[in-house]
Amino acid sequence: MKALAVAPVFIPLITLLIGIMLRPYHQQVKVVSLVGAALLTLVGIRLVALANADVVLAVQLGGWEAPYGITVIIDRLSAAMVAITGIIGLAAALYGLVREGNPDVLRNFHIFLHGLLAGVCGAFITGDVFNLYVWFEVLLIGSFALIALGGGRRRLSGTMTYVVLNLLATLVFLLSAGLIYSSTGTLNMGELGLIFRAGEAPPAATLAVVMMLVSFAIKAALFPVFGWLPASYHVAWTPVSALFAGLLTKVGVYAMIRIVTLVWPEYGQAHEVLLWVACATMLVGVLGAAAQNEVRRILSFHIVSQVGYMILGLALASPLAIAGAVFYLIHHIVVKANLFFIGGIAARMTGSERLAAMGGLYAKAPWLAILFAIPALSLAGIPPLSGFWAKFVLVKASLADGFWWAAGVALLTGIFTLLSMSKIWNETFLKAHPQGEKAIRIDDEMRWGWWAISGLAAMTVLIGIGAGPVMEYAIAAAGQLADPVVYFQAITHPGGR
């Protein structure tokens, strides 16, 4: 059990190390990467099964009791995030089996992929503020390596923006972590929650949490600090951008959900600010998408807008709303990663990412059209796909709390998203290719990509049709967040030697 708690970090890490050792043997590195990602997925599924049986895994690393040692703790939310990370990692690794471009780049992708996964999983399972910072760094350095893969002027300039802005966010986080410790004397999230909930937090600690949320907001790409995301995602190689689109902002969202529910369980001033920010994020993101003419640029702005929904759920703070945010998180990661994969495949087949230069895919690759339609409609919130339930719960929660304008913004964003998706559909799939059908390239190498996107599309449909159990899981996860007994037990429980 204790090994299982740290397995989400260790599996990708060992995979990374084996990958480094096997550097000259490209095929073996790919196999190892695939196996590692599959193992991570299995562990994630096992964790979800445990969490669903109300088991909370908590380990004091090194045997040092909390708050002196570092706590690793996996509740429902963490377990779900780990599982979904494994799945996205597996999809990316599958796609990465493609043979295109420089073989060294492909090999490096499989190595750094697991660096990123280790960081993402570490962030999901830690119960310690500074340790969270460390995993943020790990995932950040992994993402630096991944986004620059392949090089080239355009890519490196996007990388530059990405690196500088993310480092700033990390710096703000470090500052606030220091401030947290020096004002409350603890780094343990559970104890932090206790201090705040008892109303004993000094003003500096409140300020520290605010600064921390600012840095998470940058990571999550909220208005007005989302600039780094649309400036950089479209430059990366397809599976890299899909991986980023699925996971990176969501780590920020996860951290926000974790900290806010822990320290401010009741609706308050901070939630009010978050509510406005969430609405602005939804609208600005979707309007930004309307102004774009490249597939991945459009999709990038939609990430921003979609993150707004999750923060809306967090801001409303009611149990239903938090459950909605959790459900949204799970649904969105699958959908968004898939759209980036499909966008990349479509671009590869048509030879361009500009909508004007694309087209004809419906005739040449009808299955790709269907596979696009599933996540695209889910993103827009069309029933009975997963996105509908996610939006539905949030709208319901907004109305229940009397925030009709927030519900209105959520619905309006939905219709703009639908229009945006229909624009991609018309331009990329329906319209004839401007250079005629012959310009469309279909090769056997795409089969790995097909596997990845069909699997993710199947998940979207499953989450939609099986929304009942998923929603129950999300509601129970929200219950844990509202009353994080487990976190508090991790402190009082004598885990020392």
Partner 1 sequence: MSLALIVMLPFLGAVLPALMIRAGRGACAIATGSVTLLAFALLLTHVPAVLRGEVVQVGWEWLPALGLNVTFMLDGLGLLFAGLILGIGLLIIIYARFYLSKDDPMGAFYTYLLLFQGAMVGIVMSDNILLLLVFWELTSLSSFLLIGFWRHLPEGRQGARMALAVTGAGGLSMIAGMLILGNIAGSYELSVILQNRELIQASPLYLPALILILGGCFTKSAQFPFHFWLPHAMAAPTPVSAYLHSATMVKAGIFLMARMWPVLAGTDAWFYLVSTAGLATMVIAAWIALFKDDLKGLLAFSTVSHLGLVTMLFGFGTPMAAVAGVFHIINHASFKAALFMNAGIVDHETGTRDVKRLGGLLFLMPITATMAMIAAASMAGMPLLNGFLSKEMMLEEAAQTSWAGQGWIVPVLATLGAVFSVAYSFRYIVHVFFGPKRDDYPAKPHDPPAGLWLPPALLVALVVLIGLFPETFAGALVRVAAGAVIGAQVPDFHLSIWHGFTPALWMSVVAVVVGLTLLRLYPRVRALWQAGPHPEAKAMFDAVIDSVVLASRLLVLGLHNGSLQRYLAFMIGAAVVLGFAAFFGTTHAPGGRDTLPVGWAVMVPWVMLLATALLGVVLHRYRFVALIIIGVVGLVVSIGFVYLSAPDLALTQISVEVATVILILLALYFLPKSSPIESTNGRRLRDALLAGVGGLGVGALAWAVMTRDFATLSGYYLEQAKPAGGGTNVVNVILVDFRGFDTFGEIIVLGVAALAIFALLDGALRGRIARSLEGWVPDDPVSADRHPIMMVVVTRVMLPLALIVGVYIFLRGHNMPGGGFIAGLVVSIALIMQYMASGFGWAQQQMRVDYHAMIGAGVLIAAATGIAAMVMGYPFLTSAFDYFHLPIVGEFELTSAMPFDIGVFLTVVGAVMLALAQLSNMGLRLANLPVNTRPMDFDPAALRADGGKER
Site for partner 1 in 322-361 (CB under 8 A): none
Residue 444 CB, shortest distance to partner 1, in Å, is 24
91-97-100-105 Cα dihedral, nearest 10 degrees: 90
Site for partner 1 in 20-49 (CB under 8 A): 20-21, 23
DSSP-derived pairing of the beta strands 57-60 and 71-74 = antiparallel
CB count within 10 Å of CB 288 equals 19
475 lines the binding site for partner 1 (CB under 8 A): yes
Task: Tell me the CA distances in angstroms from 460 to 44, 121, 473, one per residue in order.
Answer: 18, 22, 16
Residue from 184, 249, 386, 460 that binds partner 1 (CB under 8 A)?
Answer: 184
Residue from 113, 284, 374, 481 that binds partner 1 (CB under 8 A)?
Answer: 284
Q: Which stretch binds partner 1 (CB under 8 A): 41-49, 165-173, 305-313, 340-348?
A: 165-173
Q: Do 142 and 115 meet the contact criterion of CB atoms below 8 Å apart?
A: yes
DSSP state of 283: H
Q: 103-106: list long-range contacts, CB under 8 Å, 24+ apart.
A: 103/26, 105/149, 105/150, 105/237, 106/26, 106/30
Q: Which stretch binds partner 1 (CB under 8 A): 68-76, 256-264, 328-336, 343-351?
A: 68-76
Residue 230 CB, shortest distance to partner 1, in Å, is 6
Going by C-alpha positions, the residue among 405, 381, 438 that lies closest to residue 272 is 405
64 lines the binding site for partner 1 (CB under 8 A): yes
Site string for partner 1, 368-387 (x = CB under 8 A): ---------x----xxx---
Residue 161 CB, shortest distance to partner 1, in Å, is 5
Residue from 31, 35, 42, 175 that binds partner 1 (CB under 8 A)?
Answer: 175
Strand positions, DSSP E, 443-489: none
Residue from 174, 207, 357, 482 that binds partner 1 (CB under 8 A)?
Answer: 207
Nearer to partner 1, 21 or 485 (CB): 21
Neighbour-count burial of 383, counting CB atoms closer than 10 A to its CB (0-12 exposed, 13-18 middle, 19+ buried): middle
Site for partner 1 in 253-282 (CB under 8 A): 269, 273
Site for partner 1 in 394-433 (CB under 8 A): 395-396, 399-400, 404, 407-408, 411-412, 414-415, 418-419, 422-423, 426, 430-432
Q: Which stretch binds partner 1 (CB under 8 A): 31-39, 209-217, 247-255, 436-444?
A: 209-217
Nearer to partner 1, 244 or 388 (CB): 388
450 lines the binding site for partner 1 (CB under 8 A): no
The secondary structure of the chain in percent helix, strand, coil, rounded to multiples of 5, reads: 80, 5, 20
Angle, to 10 degrees, between the axis of helix 467-482 and the axis of helix 238-263?
A: 40
Structure tokens at 170: 């990390």
Nearer to partner 1, 440 or 452 (CB): 440
